[in-house]
């Protein structure tokens, strides 16, 4: 069993060295090398900014989404005085986890980004195009995703350890979209190993904000992973470790069916996969009830908010990362009142 560890020495106590994905934080392109998934780095998409002291926001993309779709949200969070990094994922990084397979390749990349956020106060938001990733790396993850993210052999010995004199002085706020939310719940857990690895990230995390995350799902393809997190880390499992859980749900459209159920719109079909029925309200992909189905968390329901980050602001369409929507859920990080139990907040624009 592996234990994914960020700092080797934390507040004076020693923990075994077993953090196996640090190479992901190191392997950045000095020069572009030939690779199947190589793409030119667009420097206009990278934000150069000076990290603020204190907590760091780490944005976790949703299922089959790439980091570039979240740059605008990260930029807005920085304009609010926060330090923000996005986990450098490309859409194809999700392929090895298709069909209910292990999400360890994603977990490892999130864990590596947390390590980078805590270790480097001057870190900037990096593009996934700035990381070396070859067909061999991809095939290793695809063949056996339970082994996690696969760095090259020549860099397996390279480590970028985090040394913190006081881990509580600088922590991470995880802002996770869609499936990224329940994946982060696995990341926080420190008791039951997931595919041979315990991440125990609650030591370094102040809060988890889930945006349109299906915390329950009846779809057979997600059953293995969903059962694991809900059986082993149910509800706000790490609240006792000081982690604040905030679940944000969008109430945008009700699922529609016609002709006696012969025709069902996309919202209905998606809702049905999550909760078993389609005639409910949600963000167009995830039903409200699924997105807030986390006992012990603070719940925020936002009217008129869509699921995907591809909606166009010029069309007055809003998703969870639109500036006016961020302003609705961001205050809960500092004042999630009432302080005990769940809150049910519904906001319109």
- Going by C-alpha positions, the residue among 150, 143, 140, 160 that lies closest to residue 19 is 160
- Amino acid 221: pLDDT: 86
What are the residue ranges of helices labelled H in 31-189? 71-79, 104-119, 135-143, 179-188
Provide the CA 105 distance to its chain's centre, in angstroms: 13
Query: pLDDT > 70: what percent of the chain?
Result: 69
- Going by C-alpha positions, the residue among 305, 153, 296 that lies closest to residue 236 is 296
| Alpha carbon distances (Å) from 336 to 174, 203, 209, 292 | 16, 21, 12, 15
Crossing angle, helix 179-188 and helix 104-119, to 10 degrees? 70
H or E segment and range at residue 163: strand 162-164
Whether cis (ω within 30° of 0) applies to the bond prior to 338 is: yes
- Amino acid 265: pLDDT: 78
288 vs 343: which has the higher pLDDT: 288
Give the global pTM: 0.80
Query: pLDDT > 90: what percent of the chain?
Result: 55
- Amino acid 29: pLDDT: 39
Calpha distance 61→113 (Å, rounded): 12
- Amino acid 219: pLDDT: 87
- Amino acid 339: pLDDT: 38
Q: What is the pLDDT of residues 254-295, one digit of tens each?
A: 998 765 555 567 899 999 999 988 999 999 999 999 999 999
- Please say whether the beta carbons of 291 and 280 come within 8 A: no
Q: What are phi and psi of 103, to 5 degrees?
A: -100, 20
**Residue 143 burial (CB count, 10 A):** 10
Calpha distance 254→62 (Å, rounded): 22
Task: Please determine, for residue 17, whether its predicted confidence score (pLDDT) is greater than 50.
Answer: no
Calpha distance 190→171 (Å, rounded): 17
Q: Of the ranges 2-16, 48-62, 78-92, which one carries the lowest mean pLDDT score?
A: 2-16
Q: What is the pLDDT of residues 169-222, one digit of tens each?
A: 679 999 999 999 999 999 999 999 999 999 999 999 999 999 999 999 988 888
Calpha distance 199→110 (Å, rounded): 10
Provide the CA 225 distance to its chain's centre, in angstroms: 15
Task: Please determine, for residue 239, whether its predicted confidence score (pLDDT) is greater than 90.
Answer: yes
Tokens 């950045």, located at residue: 28
DSSP 190: -
- The tokens describing 223, both together, are 């059953």
Q: What are phi and psi of 294, to 5 degrees?
A: -140, 105
Q: Of the ranges 26-40, 258-272, 301-315, which one carries the lowest mean pLDDT score?
A: 26-40
Domains and CATH numbers, the chain: 2-246+288-347 (3.40.50)
Q: Please provide the distance, in angstroms rounded to a whole number, between the alpha carbons at the two ends of the chain.
A: 48
- Amino acid 199: pLDDT: 94
Mean pLDDT of 18-42: 32
- Please say whether the beta carbons of 74 and 59 come within 8 A: yes
- Please say whether the beta carbons of 325 and 313 come within 8 A: no
314 vs 244: which has the higher pLDDT: 244
- Amino acid 104: pLDDT: 96
Q: Of the ranges 1-15, 203-217, 292-306, which one carries the lowest mean pLDDT score?
A: 1-15
Task: Please determine, for residue 236, whether its predicted confidence score (pLDDT) is greater than 50.
Answer: yes
Task: Please determine, for residue 159, whether its predicted confidence score (pLDDT) is greater than 70.
Answer: no
- Amino acid 344: pLDDT: 60
- Going by C-alpha positions, the residue among 131, 301, 113 that lies closest to residue 205 is 113
Q: What is the pLDDT of residues 124-151, one digit of tens each?
A: 666 666 677 788 899 999 999 999 987 6
- Amino acid 220: pLDDT: 84
Q: Reduced to 3 states, what is the DSSP secondary structure of residue 109?
A: helix
Arithmetic mean of pLDDT over the chain = 78
């Amino acid at each position: 069993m592996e234990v994914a560890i960020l700092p080797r020495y934390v507040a004076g106590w020693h923990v075994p060295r077993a953090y196996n994905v640090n190479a992901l934080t190191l392997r950045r392109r000095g020069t572009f090398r030939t690779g199947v998934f190589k793409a030119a780095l667009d420097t206009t998409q990278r934000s150069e900014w000076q990290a603020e002291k204190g907590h760091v926001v780490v944005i976790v993309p949703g299922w089959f989404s790439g980091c570039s779709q979240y740059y605008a949200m990260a930029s807005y969070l920085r304009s609010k005085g926060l330090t923000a990094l996005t986990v450098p994922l490309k859409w194809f990084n999700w392929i090895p986890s298709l069909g209910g397979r292990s999400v360890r390749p994603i977990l490892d990349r999130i864990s590596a980004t947390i390590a980078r956020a805590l270790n480097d106060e001057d870190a900037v938001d990096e593009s996934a195009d700035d990381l070396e990733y070859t067909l061999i790396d991809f095939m290793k993850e695809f063949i056996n995703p339970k082994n996690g993210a696969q760095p090259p052999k020549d860099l397996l010995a390279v480590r970028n350890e985090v040394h913190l004199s006081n881990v509580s002085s600088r922590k991470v706020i995880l802002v996770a979209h869609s499936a990224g939310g329940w994946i982060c719940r696995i990341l926080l857990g420190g008791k039951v190993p997931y595919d041979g690895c315990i991440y125990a990230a609650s030591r370094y995390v102040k809060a988890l904000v889930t945006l349109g995350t299906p915390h329950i799902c009846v779809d057979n393809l997600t059953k293995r992973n969903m059962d694991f997190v809900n059986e082993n880390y149910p509800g706000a499992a790490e609240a006792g470790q000081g982690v604040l859980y905030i679940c944000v749900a969008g109430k945008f459209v009700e699922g529609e069916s016609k002709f006696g159920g012969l025709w069902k719109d996309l919202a209905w079909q998606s809702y049905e996969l999550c909760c078993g029925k389609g005639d409910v309200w949600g963000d167009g992909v995830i039903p409200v009830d699924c997105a807030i189905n986390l006992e012990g968390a603070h719940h925020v329901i936002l009217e008129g908010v869509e699921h995907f980050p591809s909606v166009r602001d010029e069309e007055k369409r809003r998703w969870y990362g639109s500036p006016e929507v961020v302003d609705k859920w961001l205050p809960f990080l500092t004042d999630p009142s009432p302080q005990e139990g769940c809150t049910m907040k519904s906001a319109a624009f």
